[in-house]
Structure formats: structure tokens, C-alpha cells
Structure 1
């Protein structure tokens, strides 16, 4: 495929993602429930088929889902660590809200009814009904 064809394919994909982000997510392999809302563009990462979004969940703009950990490249060739690759499914429960520019890392499960604050980097699973910001629970 030539450079112009690759550009056109990428441009058409961006247009499709803007026009109907839920249909686009399903097309690339994200399992996404009913009654969801996606504002703006979402970065589904390189393995979108590892992502599940529950029913009635809202994603604000520029959310990122990272299903693999590229940091393993730094020590992958060292003895005892040959060919180490870390992948993990990401799941978001029903009735959740993920704030603008939040990043969800591999292996994270966000429980039903939880809220993730804008800009949070979520590295561990979130229990149901909690509000997290900066990757940890927010107190009252």
C-alpha cells in the first residue's frame, strides 16, 4: 500500500470515529455495551479486542486504553527476562464515567458505578462505586 493510500485510510478512519465513535469502537473489536456515550476521540490502543465497556458508560474526550506495557522492552534481552511481554484485558463496568484524558493501563477492571477523574492514570483495579483520581481513591 502506497503512502497516499495509507494516508487516505487513516483519514477515513478518523472521520468514521468522529461520526459514530461507538460503531467505530465495535468495528475495531472493542466490546461495548448499550446506551454508552463517547465524547470526542478515544485512543483504543493496539489491541482494542482486549477492551470491554459496560452498559450506560460515558467516556469523555481523549481517553486512552493501553492494553500492553511497552516498558518491558528495556530489559527484554536480559537473562531471565527473554521475550517478556505484558498484556492485560481492560474492563469497565456498567454506569461508569471516565473523565477527559484519563489513561487506563493493562489488566485494570473498573467496577460498576465508578467515576475516574479527568487526567487520572489508573494502574490498578477500581472497586465498584468509587471515585478515583490520579490512579487512587479520592477521599470525601
Structure 2
């Protein structure tokens, strides 16, 4: 067990260093990263990070990919009459947004302020502010306040001071979180 903990610590430290370097290089190459924005590991800004803008207080979960160009143009340019086809576009994510794990955001997309994009979504159209989208392709689910109401109903009530110590919070959750699961409809 001790060897596992040591190896896990080494692996996560290396991953964190790689992520930190990648993020700094992306910012140096023009990525616009807002104040207090959080970008988790394994996020890809592609070869044109200068075409991506992320707003203040926005959270980008791990595995998210920003696609600022169409790679298919390489094949299309081999066709007669299409030799000059090029396709690039900007991506703008507003303030106070949450982008779920492993989502893909395609070029020419703007996400308004206060939006949530569900995990594993593929977003090919812009999202108005205060909305929740999810799926492949991503579709409108609800307004952000409706989603907040759902979350409020399922909120777990625990001593907030536990948030200062993640180990204590994890222990509390293991001991106290009820085993209830969503029912299939």
C-alpha cells in the first residue's frame, strides 16, 4: 500500500508539472485566461491557443478539447478546385461557466456567462448566457436557475468547516452519504 501511495504521488506530481508548463506555454502563445479561471489536467487548446478566450471564474474540467480548426481541410485540399480551403475559428467562454470533463468545443462557438456544459458533450453551436447544454451534439437542457433549483433539492447538508480539510470531508461523506440512486424511468 505504501509503494502505491508513493508511486501515485510521483505520478500526480509529474502530471501537475506537465499541466502547469502546458498552461503557461498556451498563455504565452495567446490563450486569454480570465481572473480566477481554473483549467484542470489534460485540457487541449490545440495548435491555435491564441483563438481561445476563457472568462473570469470559469472552470474547465479535465479532458476538455478546444478545436479551433477543421483538420479535414487537409484531405479536402487534395480535391480539384478546393486547394485553398482553410477553416479556422475562435472560441470564447464567458464568465462563471463550468465545462464538464471530456467535452469538445468546436470553432466559431461562444458560450455566454453563467453557463454549464455537461460532461462528454460536443458543442458545435453557441450557448446563450445562463443556460445548460449537454449531449452529443450538445443541446439546450434548461436555464441555469432551473438547474440550480435541482441542485438545491439534492444538496448534501454537512458541516461546511470540513471543506478546509479534504480528508475529513471525504471521511464524513463515506460515513454519512446515503446510498440512494436515481430510478430508471
What TM-score results when the alignment is normalised by the length of structure 2?
0.62
Matches within 5 A, 1:83-94: 83-94=84-95
CA distance in 2, matches of 1:77, 1:18: 36
RMSD value, Cα: 2.2
CA apart distance, 1:26: 1.7
Deviates more, 1:25-34 or 1:49-58: 25-34
CA distance in 2, matches of 1:41, 1:79: 38
CA distance in 2, matches of 1:124, 1:29: 23
Match of 1:74 in 2: 75
Deviates more, 1:127-136 or 1:69-78: 69-78
How many equivalent residue pairs?
A: 128
Structure 2 gaps, min length 5: 1-14, 147-185
Task: Show structure 1 runs of 4+ deviating over 3 A.
Answer: 14-17, 19-25
Change (3 A) 1:23 1:78: closer
Task: Confirm or deny that 1:99 pairs with 2:115.
Answer: no
CA apart distance, 1:103: 0.5
CA apart distance, 1:22: 5.1
CA distance in 1, matches of 2:121, 2:30: 24
Match of 2:27 in 1: 26
Structure 1 gaps, min length 5: 1-13
Partner secondary structure for residue 72 of structure 2 = helix
Rg larger in structure: 2
Decide which structure has greater strand share. Answer: 1
Decide which structure has greater helix share. Answer: 2
What TM-score results when the alignment is normalised by the length of structure 1?
0.81
